[in-house]
C-alpha cells in the first residue's frame, strides 16, 4: 500500500499543506522544529486515529484554531483508500474512510497500516515492561481487530475488578461478586495471552534472522514472552484459562490487601536476549539499537504476512543514529515499502540511495522545495 496525497489544515504548525507523495521514498529535510515530524505524525494519525506523541488531540490542532483536518489518499491491494479526520477542540473527532463516517476508532484500524521507527523505540529495549506490552498490543491490534476488542475489554474488566477489590477491604460481603469479574477477566485474558504468544513466536523467528543479517551472523537475538501465569510449551487456550483462573483464586487475599489485581497479562513482559544474555542489562548501546531495528523490520514482515501487502514505514530521526552498514541494510530491506524519512541534513544519509523518491525541504510549517532523487 502507499499514500499518494496528503492534505493538512491547521495541523500542528501547518496552516495548509497539500502534497503529492512518492510511492517509494519521501525524505523530509529541514532544521530542528520546522515541522518534519509533524508530517509523519499526521500520517500516523490516519493509520491509528491518534498520535504517537500525545493522547491529547487538542495538541495537534494549530494554536488558536478550533479544528485540524487531515486527509490522506492512497492505494491498497484491492483499491483506492481515502481517510479524513477532523479533530476538534471541544468535541470528539470525526473520522471518514472513503467518505463514510466511522462510529468507532477501532473501525479505522487496518485501513492504512503504518510502522514507525524512531529513537523512542529504544524504550522498547530499555524501558519498563509497560512499554513492551504497549508495543505488543499495538502491533497485534493493528492487524487483528478481535485482539483489539479483547485487550480493551480485558482492561475494562480489570479496572472494574480493581475497584471491587478496593471496596472489599471495607465491605467483606462484596467478595461474593468477584467470581463474575474473575470469569470475564480470565476469558478475555486467555485470548490476549494466546495471541501474544503466537505473535512473539513469529517475531522471534523473524527478528533473529534480521539481527543475524545486520550483524553478519555474529549475534543471536532471542525474544520470549514472559508470563506471570504458568503456561507450558503447547500453550493450549484451555490450559491458559485454567492456569490463569487458579492463579487469581490463589492470589485473592493478596489482591484484596493491595487493592489491585496482581496477576494476569497486564503484568507480563517480553524478554530480549543476545547470546542468552539479557540485552537490557548486558547489551551495548549498539546492540540495543540493532535489536530495536530488527524488531521493527520484523514487524513489517509480520504485517505483510497477515494482510498480504507491506505497510507504510515512518523513520523519524533515526538515520543519523545508524552506522553505514545498518543504513545500507535498512534501505536494502525496504525496497518494496513506501518509506518516509526525516533528517536535518542530507549527509546524515551516508549511503547513495538506490531508490527513486522525492525530497521535501521543510521550513517553518511549509514546504519550500520539492526535488526528485
Binding positions for ATP are 30-37
Q: How far apart are the first and last CA of the chain?
A: 21
H helix and E strand count, the chain: 10, 15
**36 binds ligand ATP, rule: CB under 6 A:** yes
Region from 56-64, 134-142, 267-275, 325-333 binding ligand ATP, contact rule CB under 6 A: 56-64
Minimum CB separation of residue 347 from ligand ATP in Å reads: 15
Binding positions are 30-37
Instruction: Identify which of residues 32 and 276 has a Cβ nearer to ligand ATP in the complex.
Output: 32
Instruction: Identify which of residues 191 and 317 has a Cβ nearer to ligand ATP in the complex.
Output: 317
Minimum CB separation of residue 89 from ligand ATP in Å reads: 11
> Rounded to the nearest 5°, which phi and psi values hold at 68?
-115, 145
CB 186, CB 245: distance < 8 Å: yes
Q: In what order do the strands lie in the sheet with 114-117?
A: 114-117, 312-316, 339-343, 25-29, 358-363, 366-372
Binder among 1, 3, 37, 47 for ligand ATP (CB under 6 A):
37
- State how far the Cα of 125 lies from the Cα of 129, in Å rounded to an integer: 9
For residues 287-326, which are near ligand ATP according to CB under 6 A?
A: 317
Minimum CB separation of residue 128 from ligand ATP in Å reads: 24
**357 binds ligand ATP, rule: CB under 6 A:** no
Instruction: Identify which of residues 10 and 298 has a Cβ nearer to ligand ATP in the complex.
Output: 10
> Which H or E element spans position 10?
strand 2-11
**38 binds ligand ATP, rule: CB under 6 A:** yes
At residue 370, the 3 state secondary structure works out as: strand
Minimum CB separation of residue 57 from ligand ATP in Å reads: 10
Region from 35-43, 198-206, 225-233, 279-287 binding ligand ATP, contact rule CB under 6 A: 35-43
Instruction: Say how many residues touch ligand ATP, by CB under 6 A.
Output: 17
Instruction: Identify which of residues 63 and 281 has a Cβ nearer to ligand ATP in the complex.
Output: 63
**30 binds ligand ATP, rule: CB under 6 A:** yes
Determine whether 97 is exposed, middle or buried from the number of CB atoms within 10 Å of its CB (0-12, 13-18, 19+): middle
Instruction: Identify which of residues 160 and 344 has a Cβ nearer to ligand ATP in the complex.
Output: 344
Minimum CB separation of residue 235 from ligand ATP in Å reads: 42
For residues 141-200, which are near ligand ATP according to CB under 6 A?
A: none
Instruction: Identify which of residues 139 and 317 has a Cβ nearer to ligand ATP in the complex.
Output: 317
**344 binds ligand ATP, rule: CB under 6 A:** yes
Nearest partner of 132 among 219, 78, 199, judged by Cα: 199
- State how far the Cα of 131 lies from the Cα of 110, in Å rounded to an integer: 22
**12 binds ligand ATP, rule: CB under 6 A:** yes
For residues 249-268, which are near ligand ATP according to CB under 6 A?
A: none
CB 217, CB 208: distance < 8 Å: no
Instruction: Identify which of residues 63 and 324 has a Cβ nearer to ligand ATP in the complex.
Output: 63
Nearest partner of 121 among 4, 268, 294, judged by Cα: 294
> Which H or E element spans position 243?
helix 237-250
- State how far the Cα of 127 lies from the Cα of 357, in Å rounded to an integer: 35
Binder among 5, 16, 54, 59 for ligand ATP (CB under 6 A):
59
365 torsion bin: left (phi>0), alpha (psi -120 to 50), beta (else): left
- State how far the Cα of 206 lies from the Cα of 82, in Å rounded to an integer: 32
**51 binds ligand ATP, rule: CB under 6 A:** no
Q: Which residues pair with 271 in a beta bridge?
A: 224
Minimum CB separation of residue 35 from ligand ATP in Å reads: 4
Interface residues toward ligand ATP, by CB under 6 A: 12-13, 30, 32-38, 59, 61-63, 317, 342, 344
Amino acid at each position: 500500500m502507499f499514500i499518494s496525497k496528503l492534505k493538512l489544515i491547521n495541523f500542528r504548525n501547518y496552516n495548509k499543506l497539500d502534497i503529492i507523495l512518492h510511492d517509494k521514498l519521501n525524505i523530509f529535510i529541514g532544521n530542528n522544529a520546522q515541522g518534519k515530524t509533524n508530517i509523519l505524525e499526521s500520517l500516523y494519525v490516519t493509520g491509528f486515529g491518534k498520535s504517537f506523541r500525545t493522547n491529547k488531540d487538542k495538541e495537534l490542532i494549530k494554536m488558536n484554531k478550533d479544528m485540524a483536518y487531515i486527509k490522506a489518499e492512497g492505494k491498497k491491494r484491492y483499491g483506492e483508500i481515502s481517510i479524513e479526520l477532523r479533530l476538534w477542540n471541544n468535541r470528539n473527532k470525526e473520522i471518514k474512510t472513503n467518505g463514510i463516517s466511522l462510529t468507532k476508532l477501532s473501525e479505522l484500524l487496518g485501513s492504512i497500516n503504518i510502522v514507525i521507527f524512531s529513537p523512542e523505540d529504544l524504550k522498547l529495549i530499555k524501558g519498563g515492561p509497560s512499554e513492551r506490552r504497549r508495543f505488543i498490543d499495538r502491533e497485534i491490534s493493528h492487524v487483528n481487530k478481535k485482539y483489539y476488542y479483547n485487550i480493551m475489554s480485558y482492561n475494562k474488566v480489570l479496572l472494574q475488578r480493581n475497584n471491587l477489590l478496593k471496596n472489599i477491604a471495607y465491605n467483606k460481603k462484596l467478595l461474593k461478586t468477584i467470581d463474575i469479574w474473575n470469569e470475564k477477566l480470565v476469558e478475555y485474558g486467555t485470548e490476549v495471552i494466546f495471541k501474544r504468544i503466537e505473535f512473539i513466536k513469529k517475531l522471534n523467528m523473524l527478528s533473529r534472522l534480521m539481527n543475524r543479517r545486520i550483524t553478519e551472523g555474529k549475534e543471536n537475538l532471542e525474544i520470549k514472552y514472559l508470563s506471570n501465569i504458568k503456561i507450558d510449551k503447547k500453550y493450549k487456550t484451555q490450559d491458559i484459562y485454567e492456569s490463569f483462573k487458579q492463579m487469581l483464586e490463589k492470589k485473592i487475599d493478596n489482591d484484596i490487601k493491595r487493592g489491585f489485581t496482581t496477576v494476569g497479562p497486564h503484568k507480563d513482559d517480553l524478554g530480549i536476549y543476545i547470546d542468552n544474555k539479557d540485552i537490557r542489562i548486558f547489551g551495548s548501546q549498539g546492540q540495543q539499537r540493532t535489536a530495536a531495528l530488527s524488531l521493527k523490520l520484523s514487524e513489517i514482515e509480520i504485517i505483510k504476512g497477515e494482510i498480504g501487502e507491506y505497510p507504510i514505514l515512518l523513520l523519524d530521526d533515526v538515520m543519523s543514529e545508524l552506522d553505514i552498514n545498518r543504513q545500507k541494510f535498512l534501505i536494502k530491506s525496504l525496497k518494496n515499502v513506501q518509506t518516509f524519512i526525516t533528517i536535518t541534513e542530507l549527509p546524515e544519509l551516508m549511503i547513495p540511495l538506490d531508490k527513486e523518491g522525492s525530497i521535501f525541504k521543510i521550513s517553518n510549517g511549509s514546504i519550500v522545495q520539492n526535488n526528485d532523487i
